[in-house]
Amino acid sequence: MDKQDIQRLLEDVRAGKLSVARGVERLRHMPFEDLGFAKIDHHRGLRQGFAEVVYARGKTPRQVVAIVRGMLRPRTAHNILITRADADIYRAIRRLHRDAKFHSLSGAISIRRNREIVGKGTILVVAAGTSDIPVAEEAAITAGIMGNKVESVYDVGVAGLHRLLHHREKIAAARVIVCVAGMEGALPSVVAGLVAVPVIAVPTSVGYGASFGGLAALLAVLNSCASNVCVVNIDNGFGGGYVASTINKL
């Protein structure tokens, strides 16, 4: 439940469209609802601007369904995002809500109930290689479900800089850039050197043995000589997209 949901609820009570008792019932589970195995943070949207996101890995389909059902129960209009899910979890969620969409590359599931664009500009997601696309897609889906205009440019790594420069106008027009790269993690520094906006580097675990599962890329972006680069964890496309959205709404 976010600020707009609460304002709408209070206006309905004032206008007589909703009884005080029903209004209290809708607010009853704030700030959280205890399911025993999970505590749904219904207050997250009000505090942070977006509802709680469900991390599905390590949870059973039944657990994820119970959490999402609880998030749907207040009948608010916020979007719902589930990350790191699989086909079994999607089938269970699809039975719960027919508008659920499975983004198989990233493993994300989205239930979009609000298509309003609230971000100030465009978030551009740039991926170095095709193998980085699953992480890039997680970033793009996250930023999109949070109410931003999102564009993507894929397979433009430093092994062929002409591919990146072909998109120079799109890069220059972005308000925030999420740059996803594995191997040696060079692309975020290159992209950041072209723009005057924040570049959120997402190192990936893509690479051969000496990449150490993404550690080489992580250290590279942490040591970037471009001062407008900030970094999230290895393969954390969700974190990159979330931070980009937060910046884009300022």
Give pLDDT tens digits for 164-200: 999 999 999 999 999 999 999 999 999 999 999 999 9
Name the DSSP letter for residue 57: T
Could you say which architecture CATH assigns to the domain 122-248?
Answer: 3-Layer(aba) Sandwich (3.40)
210 closest CA partner among 183, 181, 180: 183
Give pLDDT tens digits for 61-104: 999 999 999 888 756 678 999 999 999 999 999 999 999 999 99
Domain boundaries, the chain: 3-111, 122-248
What pLDDT shows up at residue 17? 86
Q: In what order do the strands lie in the sheet with 101-103?
A: 54-55, 80-83, 108-111, 101-103
Cis, bond preceding 31 (omega within 30 deg of 0): yes
What pLDDT shows up at residue 182? 94
Question: Structure pTM?
Answer: 0.86
